[in-house]
Amino acid sequence: MLPDFLIRATIAGLGVALIAAPLGCFVVWRRMAYFGEATAHAALLGIALSLALELPIFGGTLLAALLMAYTVSQLSGRGLASDTLLGVSAHAGLAVGLVVASFLSGVRIDLMAYLFGDILAVSISDLYTIWIGVIFVLLLIYWRWSPMLVSTLNEELAYSNGINPKKEKLILTIALAVTVAVSIKVVGLLLISALLIIPAAAARNTSSTPETMVIITALVGIISAISGLQFSYLFNTPPGPSIVCVSIAFFLFLSSKNIWKFR
Amino acid sequence: MCVVPAQILNQVTLINIKDITVKYGEHIVLDKVSLDVAPGEIVTIVGPNGSGKTSLVKTIIGALTYDSGSLIIKNNLRIGYIPQRLNIDHTLPMTVQRFLNLTHRLTKDECLKALSAAGASGLLEAQMSNLSGGQFQRVLLARALQGDPEILILDEATQSLDQAGSADFYKQIESVRDKKGCAVLMISHELHVVMSASDKVICLNGHVCCSGAPEAVAIMPEYHDLFGTGTDGTLALYRHNHDHRHDNPVRSAEVSD
């Protein structure tokens, strides 16, 4: 029989793997890898501020991620190259967050838990938070799937079909911020991008349509979450990084054919 | 040139643009441009680089906002749009069949029919990123024709094709117009191919330099100021008689993965 904490961890991991699949695919297709990173790093600032102001941590994280995601997506294309802008924002979020956290005397802040995740300490109420977020994001993506896909392909094509790609981008941004906020507990903010990108990258070469890619991504994510947690339990390794390592193994295995081809 | 039946022309215009001005910051891209497209009409916009051709099309489909003037589009106008460039990121898997289904639900049979009508049969299972330039444009055309469009809008749709290929492509557009009766609004550099098929030519350089029937525009001084006479008095109204094809759709089976 598995211990309770491992069962809770698995349920949390499954939820995060499920939403990371469609979001991760969009992040890969739209070349937004740095964007995910910036949003995740801003979450640390959110955590530090909500501890300082004694606000609920989840709310603070979500708000900071939303603000960062929105600001960056509005600023992109105005002057600075997008990756420079994202590099600045991502590290600003991280550095300012760490500095603000250091001022919090009297509040015990377990930085490691936020940076690398603390999935084994997931409580029942965390599970509720995670799964409400998961269901919200899945419904949102399901509802907007087609217009989001068309906008990703070509903005003018979207406009000519009566779709507003700016609106779709905003919805994607919101979904990404929620995903970041619910994933922090599971893999920590340093590895959220890994969770988004690696399963999607692993699925690319075995998929022929966007939809099959999302399904295979979800499968890779789910298997990585379950076996990563088992691995971490058996060998006493950190759970978040273990999950990511399993997905990297998937990536190497599934793309080995292509890696050989390009040699 | 195909003569448009009068009763079609008498219906409401599809697009009615009057004195539209578009600015990027302080820079005026379109200066009081007016343009009408009637049902079934082929209208071609020609102009040098940076003359605002693409901005005009973007304004029409609603991707750009205009600063003054009026833009009246027929209610719920069904647009079949073929973009200038459509880069499908290598990370985004997309079969031709899925692409055709992008904005309209189609059965497999309907997809096959659409492809063969566009001269691209045998490509159903191919990945979009593995298609040749000519095949890609045909698939774009097949997709644009779904949902029975009232107007096809083409933004330099033949940029990636060679001369015979683009002549071929425009022939296809013409035959689609003749069969379906949809209007066509296109932007092009390729004057010699385009002009012969158009009902109306708009010569754009920020403002409308001249416009009218292709034969009339070709001898207007404004037109020659813009494009020069050196290379091509001949180019302007060259009627293409191509007796051979270069782009062979049957080749497709080898390219698909």
Question: In whole angstroms, what is the distance from residue A82 CA to residue A8 CA?
Answer: 39
- Cα distances from B141 to residues B80, B135, B255, in angstroms, run 8, 10, 19
* pLDDT at res. B232: 44
* pLDDT at res. A130: 93
Question: In whole angstroms, what is the distance from residue A62 CA to residue B216 CA?
Answer: 63
Nearest to A209 among B88, B89, B98 (CB): B98
* pLDDT at res. A9: 92
Contact A31 B89 (CB under 8 A): yes
pLDDT range class, residue B193, cuts 50, 70, 90: low
**Structure-token pair, residue A58:** 């989840």
Average pLDDT over residues B219-240: 57
**Structure-token pair, residue A251:** 């990536």
**Nearest-CA residue of chain A relative to B98?**
A209
- Cα distances from A175 to residues A20, A32, A58, A180, A182, in angstroms, run 10, 14, 15, 9, 11
**Structure-token pair, residue B25:** 């910051």
pLDDT range class, residue B246, cuts 50, 70, 90: very low
- A-B contacts at Cβ under 8 angstroms: 64
**Nearest-CA residue of chain B relative to A156?**
B63
Q: Does B91 touch chain A (CB under 8 A)?
A: yes
**Structure-token pair, residue B15:** 């697009």
Per-residue confidence in pLDDT tens, chain A, 263 aa:
678 899 999 999 999 999 999 999 999 998 888 888 888 888 888 888 888 888 888 888 899 888 888 887 777 655 566 778 888 888 888 899 888 888 876 666 677 888 888 888 889 998 999 999 999 999 999 999 999 999 999 888 999 998 999 899 889 989 999 999 888 888 888 888 899 999 999 998 889 999 999 999 999 999 999 999 999 999 999 998 999 999 999 999 988 876 655 54
ipTM above 0.85 for this complex = no
Q: What is the CA radius of gyration of chain B?
A: 18
Q: What 3-state class would DSSP assign to B71? A: strand
Contact A150 B127 (CB under 8 A): no
* pLDDT at res. B256: 39
Buried residues in A104-127 as b, exposed as e (16+ CB within 10 A): eeeeeeeeebbbbbbbbebeeebb
CA-based torsion, B126, B128, B130, B135: positive or negative: positive
Q: pLDDT at residue B257 above 50?
A: no
Chain A residues whose C-beta sits inside 8 Å of any chain B C-beta: 28-31, 146, 149-150, 152-157, 159-161, 200-201, 204, 207-213
Q: What 3-state class would DSSP assign to B127? A: strand
pLDDT range class, residue B231, cuts 50, 70, 90: very low
H-only helix segments in chain B: 6-9, 53-61, 96-100, 108-117, 133-144, 163-180, 191-197, 214-218, 221-227, 233-236, 252-255
* pLDDT at res. B92: 92
**Which pTM does this prediction carry?**
0.84
Nearest to A29 among B80, B83, B92 (CB): B92
* pLDDT at res. B237: 40
* pLDDT at res. A185: 81
Q: pLDDT at residue B157 above 80?
A: no
pLDDT digits (tens, 9 = 90+) for B48-89: 778 888 899 999 998 888 999 889 888 888 999 988 778 888
* pLDDT at res. A198: 95
